[in-house]
Amino acid sequence: MALIHKATLTPSKLGMLTEWLPTRPWFNGHGEIWQVGAYRFDDPAGEVGVETLLVQGDNGSVCQVPLTYRGSPLDGAEEFLVGTAEHSVLGKRWVYDACSDPVWTAALTATVLTGGTQVEEFVEVDGRLEPRAPTATVQGSGAPGTPVDPIGAVSCRDDGPTTVVRAEHYELVVARVIGAEVFGEFTLTGSWAYGGPAVLAAVRRV
């Protein structure tokens, strides 16, 4: 379950991405971007926000941007910092390209291997939690109960329209540009308004 605060983020997520995306080799849009969907995973420790945005540029292509939101800097991940922002409830947040973040890597791997989905989102309204309709849904191809090994250290590199993430026991391939060919033993498939189903990521054991 993800608890979504009724809050403001300054600068906004799209504001940060408008500056960050043109620095990525897999992004070839210009000017305005807009969000077409998003999905979240849980951090079991409850410390890190884990969200993936699906954004469309003026060239019509949809890009996948996994983000993690942290209350303090992630050691060794300076080059993957998207930006910092002030959250009106939680305070300063460090926003990272999640492909560099072991919390996101663990969440994605577990979801894919165990046949999981995005988590349900709730907003607190007048002291009660109300569900928020998802703007994107995802499904892993694995089976419930599949064992998931520890992730360990994480490294990542861009490879054309994909990003390859290496962990201790797994290799993940993330489609940065939706429609890019992604192959692996297990996959994550997603759909959103006017889009999908599409393979968003793949995981294989190494």
Distances (CA, A) of 191 to 21, 36, 118, 158, 199: 22, 11, 11, 24, 9
Residue among 176, 26, 40 at smallest CA distance from 104: 40
What average pLDDT values come out for the chain (206 residues) when binned by 10 residues? 73 96 91 94 94 93 97 96 90 96 98 97 78 94 97 96 97 98 96 96 97
Q: What is the rounded distance in angstroms from the CA atom of residue 147 to the CA atom of residue 50? A: 22
| Tokens linked to 152 | 């360990």
Strand ranges, E, within 58-169:
62-70, 81-87, 91-97, 121-125, 128-132, 136-140, 155-159, 162-166
pLDDT of residue 72: 97
pLDDT of residue 6: 67
pLDDT of residue 74: 97
pLDDT of residue 121: 85
Phi-psi region of 76 (alpha: psi -120 to 50; beta: other; left: phi over 0): left
The SS3 of residue 22 is helix
